[in-house]
């Protein structure tokens, strides 16, 4: 896939491999003219070779491990949806219960608390809900709760435990270590790429076609797919509602949110709502999730690391100028984490 901008920190694996393959050849052709020493060129080429090998190896490992985790993620998602359904059911029963009983139900069933993010904590919380259902039948015989939902939750939690115990922990830990190693390699590599990019710009300017031979994009060629001809000033739009919102999963599993810069905007506020997979998409307004997000040279982006399988994450963005004026929240985009 051709490079569309110079944000190499958010390349897909395929884009990053292609960028490095181009740089591996291009640095031989232009390195000396850019005043890189022989040792510098070797360092650059070594990164290009090593990161390609690491990405390809990790892709294979991830495919193998993901296959093992498919059943676990599916079991957890189903249990979380049923847990929320049980909460909603008890909440409805509380409205017709006597005051003392309603207070007891609220305390025992954690009606106003969300499901814990950590899988083990969630399983324990679900167990407590199931115990509460059993106990209330004897402690408050005046309350009649239909057993179907709680029986289904019990079965789903049992299935989740089986799937959880089937995951090879050692293999998962090894895979996680490989991801960490690659991230550290990329962090060093980003410095190398930035070094080459800035050196090339200082020698040639930011719109020289030779940048393409190093895996970068001349300024006049930077554009957003589907937007037609390149826009003046890159991806910037006039002051107003944020445009071009995109939500995806990045190579290391985080949710990557990206949008076009807004003219005169100094910073951005990210809004977020989270619902179980299968629930209706939430409508604006959303809760404020992150403030003061600065723009990059050519766009704005944020990586959300706080997410859990079994949920859909929806985002909207507000632009803020130096006077503190805010735009209207843009139409939201969402993504499911499975």
Q: Same domain for 338 and 206?
A: no
Predicted confidence at residue 35, as pLDDT, reads 95
Range 286-312 average pLDDT: 85
Beta bridge partners, 272, equal 287, 315
Does 261 have pLDDT greater than 70? Answer: yes
Task: Identify whether residues 180 and 269 lie together within a single domain.
Answer: no
Q: Specify whether 129 is located in the same domain as 247.
A: no
Q: For residue 261, what are the CA distances in angstroms to 121, 198, 239?
A: 40, 22, 9
Residues 184, 251, single domain; the answer is: no
The per-residue pLDDT of the chain, averaged, comes to 83
In a domain, 333, yes or no: yes
Question: For the segment 39-62, what is each residue's pLDDT rounded down to a tens digit?
Answer: 999 999 999 999 988 888 877 766
Tell me, yes or no, whether 225 lies in a domain: no
Question: What are residue 335's DSSP bridge partners?
Answer: 313
Residue ranges making up the domain that contains 266: 231-338
Instruction: Give tens-digit pLDDT for 111-134.
Output: 766 777 778 888 888 898 899 888
Contact present, 317 and 330 (Cβ < 8 Å): yes
* Segments in the chain forming alpha helices (H): 13-30, 38-94, 99-109, 119-139, 148-166, 169-204
What total of structural domains would you count in the chain?
Answer: 2
Is the pTM here over 0.85, yes or no? no
Kindly state whether residues 31 and 96 are assigned to the same domain.
yes
Q: Is residue 196 part of a domain?
A: yes
Pair 192, 247 in one domain: no
| Distance in angstroms (rounded) separating the CA atoms of residues 216 and 15 | 11
Q: Which of 170, 189, 219 is the last residue of a domain?
A: 219
Rounded Cα–Cα distance for residues 319 and 263 (Å):
9
Same domain, 163 and 305: no
The answer to whether residues 78 and 155 touch, using CB atoms and an 8 Å cutoff, is no
Same domain, 39 and 89: yes
Residues 6+ apart with CB under 8 A from 158: none
Closest CA to 153 of 75, 70, 69: 75
The model's confidence at residue 228, banded by pLDDT at 50, 70 and 90, is very low
Say if 99 falls within a structural domain: yes
Residue 271, domain CATH: 2.60.40.10
Q: What sign results for the dihedral spanned by CA atoms 9, 43, 60, 70?
A: negative
Is 261 found in the same domain as 168? no
């Amino acid at each position: 896939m051709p490079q569309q901008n110079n944000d190499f920190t958010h390349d897909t694996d395929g884009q990053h491999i292609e960028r490095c393959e181009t740089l591996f050849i291009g640095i031989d052709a232009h390195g000396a003219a850019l005043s890189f020493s022989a040792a510098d060129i070797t360092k650059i080429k070594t990164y290009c070779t090593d990161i390609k090998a690491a990405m390809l190896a990790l892709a294979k490992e991830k495919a193998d491990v993901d296959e093992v985790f498919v059943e676990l993620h599916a079991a957890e998602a189903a249990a979380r949806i049923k847990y929320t359904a049980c909460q909603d059911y008890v909440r409805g029963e509380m409205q017709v219960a006597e005051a003392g009983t309603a207070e007891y139900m609220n305390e025992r069933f954690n009606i106003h608390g969300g499901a814990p993010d950590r899988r083990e904590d969630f399983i324990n919380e679900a167990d407590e809900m199931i115990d509460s259902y059993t106990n209330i039948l004897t402690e408050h015989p005046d309350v009649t709760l239909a057993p179907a939902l709680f029986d289904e939750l019990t079965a789903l939690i049992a299935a989740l435990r089986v799937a959880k115990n089937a995951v090879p922990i050692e293999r998962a830990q090894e895979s996680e270590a490989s991801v960490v190693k690659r991230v550290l390699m990329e962090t060093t590599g980003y410095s190398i790429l930035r070094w080459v990019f800035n050196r090339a710009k200082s020698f040639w300017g930011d719109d020289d076609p030779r940048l393409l031979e190093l895996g970068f994009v001349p300024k006049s060629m930077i554009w957003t797919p589907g937007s037609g001809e390149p826009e003046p000033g890159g991806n910037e739009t006039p002051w107003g509602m944020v445009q071009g919102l995109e939500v995806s999963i990045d190579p290391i599993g985080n949710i990557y949110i990206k949008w076009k810069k807004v003219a005169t905007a100094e910073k951005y506020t990210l809004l977020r709502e989270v619902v179980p997979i299968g629930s209706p998409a939430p409508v604006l307004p959303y809760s404020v999730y992150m403030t003061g997000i600065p723009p990059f040279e050519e766009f704005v982006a944020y990586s959300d690391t706080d997410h859990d399988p079994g949920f859909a994450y929806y985002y909207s963005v507000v632009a803020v100028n130096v006077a503190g004026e805010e735009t209207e929240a843009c139409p939201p985009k969402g993504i499911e984490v499975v």
